[in-house]
Amino acid sequence: MTWDSIVDTSRIAAGGLADFATGLTEPSIRLGVTGLSRAGKTVFITALVHALLKQARLPVFEAQNEGRILKAYLEPQPNDDLPRFAYEQHLASLTGDERKWPQSTRQISQLRLTIEYAPESFFARTFSNGKLHIDIIDYPGEWLLDLPLMQQTYQQWSHAMLTASRTEPRVALANDWHQYLSSLDPTAPADENAAVTAAKLFTDYLSACRQQEVSLSSLPPGRFLMPGDLEGSPLLSFAPLDVTPDAVFASGSMGALMERRYQSYVSRVVKPFYFGHFARLNRQIVLVDLMSALNAGVHAVNDLRGALVDVMGSFRLGANNLVSTVFGRRIDKVLFAATKADLLHHQSHDKLEAILRLLVSEASHKAEFQGARIDALALSAIRATQEATVKQKSGEFSCIAGTPEAGEHVGTELFDGKSEAAIFPGDLPGHPQAALQGLAQGTLQFVKFRPPVLTAETFPHIRMDRAIEFLLGDGFP
């Protein structure tokens, strides 16, 4: 065991002890909500919390359906080192006159919801009511995809990044960075300005890979695209160099500078996130913008596939750490959810779910992930559309209808953000394997809709109750 890992282990143990002490007094679920930027985390958490606080009609959520949920309220969160999830602000923007989607996740945050309930058994009920704390931890999926860096040297990482960037569709987006990189000599004396420029061009390349039409998923280091509180920090001024995985750098060289920065990033950014937050979760939902990946084509699907294998690998790591062995905390349920299902007609919801299920089962097999219950579903946290049938000379079309956001367009028709429109969103292939082979490329038509008018206590949704039952249902024994 290295000194580094001894320190890390004791850090987990200290954190685990605090969680354990809290867990001793009252049961709690620590639910991680993650997904790449724009996957729908903020909307999901806001809708989830609202549904639980308002005791909305959620047919599949059994404890609620049986009338056993007595009271639900927000409480101060247990961890003082995390910002609070801005629930009230997000709700206000959704329900305000302007009907705006809330500000997306930029960094980690937390919210504690407490639920009092009547226990299931008559015997337990005669003693007292049950109480469950649900700690929701919202964090960028980009940070989760950083965890494999803990097991890679700078040289191995550089080599892997360079190799990937020379393949389609990345290579066309890497032009500027590649050109600059060819002028950098890893053995030359370290040059701070060159490191900063390389980091900037590398970040530009990563964000080009993230654009809707390319929709790649696996783009570490996560803080380059989602810096959180590290915006502008020197910790982010490194980039890959064109070196072999076993290269050795002389002290004072450009290579040595980059290697040192990479190691600082891993030890000061990736590890604290892993040990301080990720390793203490015991439930997890991973939100996936599967439709964008399917629409972008086979490269995006393959990249998503690789990202899911990495995600599974991180959960496997989480299941075997000291917190879980000593204190019994481990991720025991993981839900993968394809979000924004309301952008498709309901005839495609099951197809979307089947595609995700196949991807997830391939990934869990590949990562040899065992131990936790895994499920996959297609959902919409807040349904912004309704369904309509449009008759035209060429036939009938199953459409979705809502208020497209100002500036959105279909063909030459430009929307003003006020009028409603029915849009044919396209359809998914009937066979999930065909979709994964890229057959859905370009077949879907996306329009961003404004949130619906949200006045009722139950927000319109698709399959949120199934998600809640899977993630939290066993918390009300």
- Contact residues for ligand GDP, defined by CB under 6 A: 35, 37-43, 101, 104-105, 339-340, 342-343, 380-382, 384, 448-449
Q: Which is nearer to ligand GDP, 239 or 378 (CB)?
A: 378
Min dist CB 49 to ligand GDP, Å, is 13
Q: Which is nearer to ligand GDP, 41 or 223 (CB)?
A: 41
Q: Which is nearer to ligand GDP, 248 or 456 (CB)?
A: 456
**Rounded to the nearest 5 degrees, what angle is found at the Cα of 227, between the Cα atoms of 221 and 229?**
140
Min dist CB 23 to ligand GDP, Å, is 28
**Beta-bridge partners for 144:** none
Spatial separation of the C-alpha atoms in residues 352 and 300, rounded to whole Å: 16
> Which helix or strand (DSSP H or E) is residue 223 part of?
helix 222-225
Min dist CB 341 to ligand GDP, Å, is 7
> Which helix or strand (DSSP H or E) is residue 398 part of?
strand 395-402
Spatial separation of the C-alpha atoms in residues 400 and 387, rounded to whole Å: 5
Q: Which is nearer to ligand GDP, 13 or 60 (CB)?
A: 60
Q: How is residue 221 written in tokens? A: 């280091």
Residue pair 323/15 in contact (Cβ under 8 Å)? The answer is yes
Q: Which residue has the tokens 């980039």?
A: 239
Preceding peptide of 221 cis, ω within 30°: yes
**E strands within 82-204?**
109-117, 130-138
Q: Kindly report the backbone phi and psi dihedral angles of residue 364, in degrees, each rounded to the nearest multiple of 5, phi listed first.
A: -70, -35
Classify residue 427 as exposed, middle or buried by CB count within 10 Å of its CB (0-12, 13-18, 19+).
middle
Min dist CB 384 to ligand GDP, Å, is 4
Spatial separation of the C-alpha atoms in residues 135 and 82, rounded to whole Å: 12
Min dist CB 85 to ligand GDP, Å, is 10
Q: Which is nearer to ligand GDP, 249 or 449 (CB)?
A: 449
Spatial separation of the C-alpha atoms in residues 43 and 32, rounded to whole Å: 14
Min dist CB 330 to ligand GDP, Å, is 25
Min dist CB 344 to ligand GDP, Å, is 10
Min dist CB 136 to ligand GDP, Å, is 13
Classify residue 382 as exposed, middle or buried by CB count within 10 Å of its CB (0-12, 13-18, 19+).
buried
